[in-house]
Amino acid sequence: MDRIGKYEIETPLLDTSFSDIYIARDPAREGHFAVKVFHPKGDNVGENAKYGVDFWRARFVEEARIMSRFDHPNLVRVIDLGETEDGAPYLVMPFMEANLLYEIGEDAQTPEDIEKITPNWRPRPVSPRRAVEVWRQLLAGLKALHEAGLVHRDMKPSNILLERKARGRVKLCDFGMVKVPGAVGSRSGIWVGTLDYISPEQRKSSSEVNVRSDVYSAGVVMYRMLSGRLPIRGRAPMRAGRFGIPRTLAELIEDCLKQNCDDRPNDAGQVIERLDGIIPNVRMLTDKSRIPLRAASIKAIKK
């Protein structure tokens, strides 16, 4: 494929369960763009698919409409929408250099699983300063969604984009699973999300989620950034001294991770209010992680 609409395709970027994404240029403008083309695959198509192609197509178009509504520094925006010659809808976004996985690596818990990952992509923490920088921006994007009555439902590192690889600005993306009042799939009870990052209530049914479910997922992301690990069952609590953060921040993260939805902060805006009261200036935090690289990772790097 050489062209989609007016966009000249340079290279494929990513294949997902529902789309193909390409890096492209617009001859009339400078810079690169990401062109996301609707293309469901695998279990999402065919006779055994639980939901048909028309359902997912409607969700794709809904995603584009949601993204085009916002002009926020921490939300990816849609700058164009169209259909290919084959009739597949596509949307166009500014190209981002990386996502949060570039900074924290891929998820893995056991030494055996970690060993299977390329050394540069093994799980690792970031500094408290960088974790708060990313979290504050992530929460700001979520706040805009929550104030519009929307629930993201798929908060995870790969959906947290970075404008550039070196401490880039954060932009939340992938609104394909956003819960929109009255929209396709919002009340169907369809299970959506990424298991390691979703709340207990979302594991039961997406129809039960609310903005506090996003708060839980944001708490998982913060725990992962500081510790290098996911907050799985039986996890160690977020200890302030070990992670180089104020005690009140550790308590805020733990509040976001409460199993009972009603025990969490009301929404992303409330989390921001508490965070800003705890850390008015991110420079008060250290720019070095207190969590050392795992022995397995160090051994692999030395090789």
Helical ranges in 52-205 per DSSP H: 53-69, 101-104, 111-115, 128-147, 200-204
Give domain status of residue 295, yes or no: no
Asked whether residue 185 falls in the same domain as residue 61, the answer is no
Give the pLDDT confidence score for residue 273 in this predicted structure: 97
Q: Is residue 290 part of a domain?
A: no
User: CB–CB of 106/123 below 8 Å?
Assistant: yes
Q: Report the pLDDT value the prediction gives residue 300, as an integer from 0 to 100.
A: 33
Residues 210 and 134 in one domain: yes
Confidence of residue 16 (pLDDT cuts 50, 70, 90): confident
Dist. CA 81–CA 258, nearest whole Å: 39
**75 and 109: one domain?**
no
Same domain, 35 and 167: no
Beta bridge partners, 22, equal: 12, 35
pLDDT band at 175 (very low <50, low <70, confident <90, very high): confident
**Within a domain: 297:** no
**Residue 86 pLDDT:** 92
- Give residue-wise pLDDT tens across range 60-103: 888 888 888 899 999 999 999 999 999 999 999 999 999 999 99
The mean pLDDT of 121-132, rounded to a whole number, is 95
Least confident window among 168-172, 180-184, 214-218, 221-225: 180-184
Q: How many residues does the chain have?
A: 303
Contact predicate 70/32, CB 8 Å: no
Instruction: Tell me the residue ranges of DSSP E strands in 183-293.
Output: none
Report the chain's mean pLDDT, rounded to a whole number: 87
| Residue 222 domain-assigned (yes or no) | yes
Residues 212 and 190 in one domain: yes
Helices 247-256 and 268-278 sit at what angle, rounded to 10 degrees? 170
- State the CATH number of the domain containing residue 26: 3.30.200.20
Residue range 29-51: mean pLDDT, rounded: 83
**Is 124 in the same domain as 209?**
yes
236-267 residue pLDDT tens: 888 888 899 999 999 999 999 999 999 999 99
Looking at the fold, whether 197 and 156 belong to one and the same domain comes out as yes
Is 129 found in the same domain as 83?
Answer: no
Q: Would you give the end-to-end CA distance of the chain in angstroms?
A: 40
Pair (86, 146) in one structural domain: no
Quick check: is 58 in a domain? yes
Look-up: residue for tokens 């956003």?
178
Are 83 and 187 contained in the same domain?
no
Confidence band (pLDDT; 50, 70, 90) for 107? very high
Whole-number pLDDT of residue 299: 37
pLDDT of 292 reads 65
Task: Please check the confidence at residue 277 and state whether its pLDDT lies above 70.
Answer: yes
Give me the domain span that covers residue 35. Answer: 8-94
Q: Are 170 and 34 in a shared domain?
A: no
Q: 59, 94, 129 — which closes off a domain?
A: 94
Range 208-225 average pLDDT: 95
Q: Residue 235 and residue 102: Cα distance in Å, rounded?
A: 24
Say if 299 falls within a structural domain.
no
For residues 124 and 43, state if they share a domain.
no
The reply to whether 303 falls in a domain is no
d(CA 64, CA 278) in angstroms, rounded, equals 36
**Range picked from 69-73, 200-204, 211-215 for highest mean pLDDT:** 211-215
Domain count, the chain: 2
| Among the listed residues 202, 205, 209, the one whose alpha carbon sits nearest the alpha carbon of residue 179 | 209
- Kindly write down the DSSP assignment for every residue of 217-265, as one continuous string: HHHHHHHHHHHSS---TTPPP--HHHHTS-HHHHHHHHHHT-SSGGGS-
| Span 214-230, average pLDDT | 96
Residue 298 has pLDDT above 50, yes or no: no
Look up the CATH number of the domain holding residue 159.
1.10.510.10
The residues that are catalytic are 154
d(CA 44, CA 39): 10
Task: Tokens for 116, please give them.
Answer: 């299977």
What mean pLDDT is predicted for residues 185-198? 64
> Given a cut of 50, is residue 159 above it in pLDDT?
yes
- Residue 187 banded pLDDT, cuts 50, 70, 90: very low
Rounded to an integer, the average pLDDT of 185-200 is 67
Distance separating alpha carbons of residues 157 and 103, to the nearest angstrom: 10
